[in-house]
A = this chain, B = another copy of it.
Amino acid sequence: MIATEKITVAHGNGGTQMQELLRRVVWPRLGNAILAEETDAAVLPAPAGATLVFTTDSFVVQPLFFPGGDIGHLAVCGTINDVAMMGAQPAALALALILEAGLPMATLERIVDSIAATARAANVPVVTGDTKVVEAGKADGIYITTSGVGWRTGTAPTGWRSVQAGDAILVSGTLGHHGIAVMAARAHLPFMSTLQSDAAPLHELVREIVAVDDGVRWLRDPTRGGLAAALNELAGQVGGAIELDDAAIPVAEDVRGAAEVLGLDPLYLANEGRCVVVCAAAAADAVLARMRRHALGRTAARIGTVSAVGGRGSVVIATSFGGRRIVDMPSGEQLPRIC
């Protein structure tokens, strides 16, 4: 690579320059037999008796690199997690890049390296993709849309329709690291530089969670809008009265401190390495134990209860001072471009 090389509009032409970009920069890094076919779509075997899970997500995070991750790592984790939250195991990813003319080639290489490393570690190959180039000034360097397919077999949570009064609410670990790391990077706050995004692929943790058919109802990764948005959405869907115990919600000290400085509530911070689980109360201890045995679930905790369903949805938190307050759906422009 020439150190000063940059993406140009010609790299999006469907011709020589695009082929060269793909063959030199993208495909070797992501390399696998399906991608090597150079077709416009990937052909994949379908396991007998499985159900297909299909998802897509665009990533426009700013800055592109932040402590603990980058847009490429985040895109792979986010799409794997959306498949995993349906109780499925991801099988393959599709990668659509919108590049801004002027993007340094070295930056693209670094991002594709990160995509490749994350996909390889998760054992979920990128099997197809697309590349477009827009003029300088558009697209903030790069936007990434990752789509995913996966297979659901055997036991899997049946989703929000199965949530019942009395169910327990668990989280797989401390909340807010991803959101606060991106915000701190954007605000150039050096004293927060130890904060790291904890974005991670959760499909192996989910495999443990759903391994036993003991009453896991619903899984969700609390991304944009954080735990507050995820639980408000669930409350709205099931008409559920959700009660949280503030003291039980795991938030690391450094996240709590940084959130205070930035005037943010950790319940609203985006995560990409955590999941929320609703399960039968009787199964809560067993599910917690399964989560804690996994590296990504060491700090898992039971944080609340669905006290009723079929009514008016609400999320209420009992504070350490004995009070109660409503946890609203996030509103307004808080924390844009976090994923």
Q: What is A's interface to B at a CB cutoff of 8 Å?
A: 8-10, 12-19, 37-46, 48, 50-60, 82-83, 85-86, 88, 92, 94-98, 127-130, 132-135, 137-140, 143, 145, 147-152, 159-160, 220-221, 223-225, 228-229, 232-233, 237, 270, 329-337
A159→B138 CA distance, assembly (Å):
36
Evaluate whether A55 and B82 lie within 8 angstroms (CB atoms) in the complex, with A9-B333, A225-B15 already known. no
Is the Cβ of A152 less than 8 Å from the Cβ of B57?
A: no
B residues within 8 A CB of A51?
A: 43-46
Is the Cβ of B52 less than 8 Å from the Cβ of A46?
A: yes
The one of B39, B82, B331 in contact with A159, judged by C-beta atoms closer than 8 angstroms, is: B39
Is the Cβ of B145 less than 8 Å from the Cβ of A58?
A: yes
Residue of B nearest to A128 (CB): B55
A150→B39 CA distance, assembly (Å):
15
Is the Cβ of B331 less than 8 Å from the Cβ of A15?
A: yes
Evaluate whether A10 and B44 lie within 8 angstroms (CB atoms) in the complex, with A38-B233, A56-B96, A149-B52 already known. no
Residue of B nearest to A225 (CB): B14
A308→B160 CA distance, assembly (Å):
59
Residue of B nearest to A230 (CB): B14
A-B residue pairs in contact (CB < 8 Å), sample of 18: A10-B331, A10-B333, A12-B336, A13-B336, A15-B225, A16-B329, A19-B329, A39-B159, A41-B54, A42-B55, A43-B152, A46-B151, A54-B94, A54-B128, A54-B147, A60-B132, A96-B147, A138-B139
Residue of B nearest to A17 (CB): B331
Residue of B nearest to A50 (CB): B46
B residues within 8 A CB of A42?
A: 53-55
The one of B57, B143, B149 in contact with A54, judged by C-beta atoms closer than 8 angstroms, is: B149
B residues within 8 A CB of A150?
A: 41
Is the Cβ of A86 less than 8 Å from the Cβ of B332?
A: no
Is the Cβ of A336 less than 8 Å from the Cβ of B133?
A: yes
Evaluate whether A223 and B57 lie within 8 angstroms (CB atoms) in the complex, with A43-B51, A50-B46, A145-B96 already known. no
- Nearest chain B CB to A219 CB, angstrom units: 10
A285→B13 CA distance, assembly (Å):
34
- Nearest chain B CB to A270 CB, angstrom units: 8
Is the Cβ of B233 less than 8 Å from the Cβ of A130?
A: no
